[in-house]
Amino acid sequence: LKDINSSTIISDNFVISYENSSYYMTYPDVITYLQGSGRSSRLYNGGLTLGLSIVLIDNKLIFEILKRRLQRMLPEIAFKELSELNLDMVKQQLDSSRRDEGERTQFSITTGLLVVESPTKARTIAKLFGRPSIKLYNRIPVYETIIVDGKNIYVMNIVATKGHITDLTTDKLGYYGVKVDDSDIIPYYVPLSRCLDCNKIFSSTNYDKCPYCGSENVYSSKAIIDLLRHFSLFVEKIYIASDPDAEGEKIAFDVSSLISPYNSEVYRVKYHEITKNAILNALRNPQKVDVNLVMSQVARRVEDRWIGFELSKILKNKFNDFNQGAGRVQTPVLGWIVNRTMNYKSNLGYIVYIDINGYIIKKYFKDRKSAEEYLKSVEKISIEKVNEQKILLSPLPPFTTDSLLIEANSRFKFTANLTMKIAQELFEAGLITYHRTDS
C-alpha cells in the first residue's frame, strides 16, 4: 500500500479513505462496466454495430484503477477525452451501423480444437480468456472458451493429452518393438496405458489388462485419441500446442498423424510462456510439425529401448533380480557419480578456518597432523592492503535447466525431480517461461 495523503490509501485494486470517523473501501466494478458498455453494440446482420460508452469521472483514482485493470484483460483498450471526438460524425456512424446497408465491423469466426499436454495448462489457458465452460467426455475435461484477437474470433475447445499418447510397443514384435529390415528401421507405436491398481505404465496392443498385476482397472490413452478424433470432425481447425521441445514435437506428430484423416486443417503452434499475448501470437503464426525434430526424438527413443532393455536383461540374469536396470543415460550418469564419489573420498582431509573480523580464509591439509602444526605456527597474521577498486556487478542471467537444478540443490537441497516438478507447476500457472532448455 502507498500513502497518498493522511486520509487516503491506494492499492492496485481499491482505495481506502477515512471520512467522518469511518473507513470506506472503494473499488471499480470492472465486470459490470464491461457488461454495461458491451450492450451499446450488438451483433447484427453478420457484423458488430458501433457502440459508444461515456464515462463520467467523479474519482480519478478509481478511474485509473479501472483503466489499469481493463488493460490487463484487454491490452488494446484506450479511453479518449470527449472533446477529442467529433460527436456529429460518431452519431452518424452509430446510426449507419444499425441500418441494413450500413457499415459494420466484420468478424472471422473459427471453431477450433487446441491440444495441450497437461490438464493444468488447459485450465490456465482457458481462464486467460474469461470464464470457460467445462464438459466431461468419458471423464476427460474439455474447456470451451472464446478467444478474441482483433477481428478474429475463435470458439476454442481445449483438451489435454496428459503427456505422450503413444510409445514403442512391448509386444514381441521385431527387436524390442522395432522391426529391422535390411536398411529400414520401423518402430511400432501403440497407445500408452496405466494400471490404476499397481500404477505401472505399459504399451501393448492388449491395453485392457495390466501385464504386471493382471488388473483390468486400466486407463488407456486410446480414450484421448478417440476424443480428439471425435472433436476433429466438428471443428474447422486443430491447433497442437504441446511443449516447444523434442518430446512436445513428438506428441504433436502423434496427434497430427492420428487425427489428420478426420480433419486436414492441423497446425502446430508454439509458445514459451503461458500468457494471453503468447497464446494469441502462437495462433497468429501456425506452423507445421518439425519432422526432423521428431525423427531425432524417435532415434533417441529407439536407442533408449535397445540399450536399456538389452543391458537390463543382462543385469537381471547376472544378479537374478528383476529390479536391476540400466539405460542409455542412467548408466553413464551412475558411472559419473561413482567416479566423483571415489575422487571425493580420495581427497578427504582437514580444513583450517581462519576468521579475520568476519572474513574467512580456508587452508586445506591432507592429514590431521599437518593441520595441527599449522595452527600452532600461526600466532600473528599481518594484513596488507594491496589494491582497492569498485566493481559493478550485473544481475545473473535467467536460469537454464542445469543452472536451475544446481541453484535449487545448493540453496534449498531440492532434488532434481522436485525442482522440475515445481518448475512445471510454475510454467503451467503462467509464472515462468519454459523450463526444459537444451543448454
What is the rounded distance in angstroms from the CA atom of residue 304 to the CA atom of residue 246?
15
What is the rounded distance in angstroms from the CA atom of residue 408 to the CA atom of residue 411?
5
CA dihedral sign of residues 165, 168, 173, 178: positive
Burial of residue 407, with CB atoms counted within 10 A of its CB: 0-12 exposed, 13-18 middle, 19 or more buried:
middle
**Catalytically annotated residue among 143, 189, 207, 434:** 434
Q: Is 434 a catalytic residue?
A: yes
- Picking from 269, 2, 302, the residue whose alpha carbon sits closest to that of residue 125 is 269
- Provide Rg for the chain, Cα atoms: 31
Hey, how many other C-beta atoms are within 10 angstroms of the C-beta on 114?
26
- Picking from 291, 162, 173, 276, the residue whose alpha carbon sits closest to that of residue 227 is 162
- Picking from 384, 433, 383, the residue whose alpha carbon sits closest to that of residue 404 is 433
| Coil vs helix vs strand at 353 | strand
Angle between helices 222-232 and 246-259 in degrees, nearest 10: 60
Residues ≥6 apart with Cβ < 8 Å to 436: 243, 245, 401, 420
CA 81 to each of CA 33, 50, 131: distance values in angstroms, whole numbers, following the listed order: 18, 18, 31
Contact between 15 and 25 under an 8 Å Cβ cutoff? The reply is: yes
In degrees and rounded to multiples of 5, residue 260 shows phi and psi of -60, -30
Q: What is the DSSP string of 36-76?
A: HHHTTS-EETTEE---------S-HHHHHHHHHHHHHH-TT
CA dihedral sign of residues 427, 431, 434, 436: negative
What is the rounded distance in angstroms from the CA atom of residue 298 to the CA atom of residue 306?
12
Instruction: Report, as residue numbers or ranges, the catalytic residues.
Output: 434
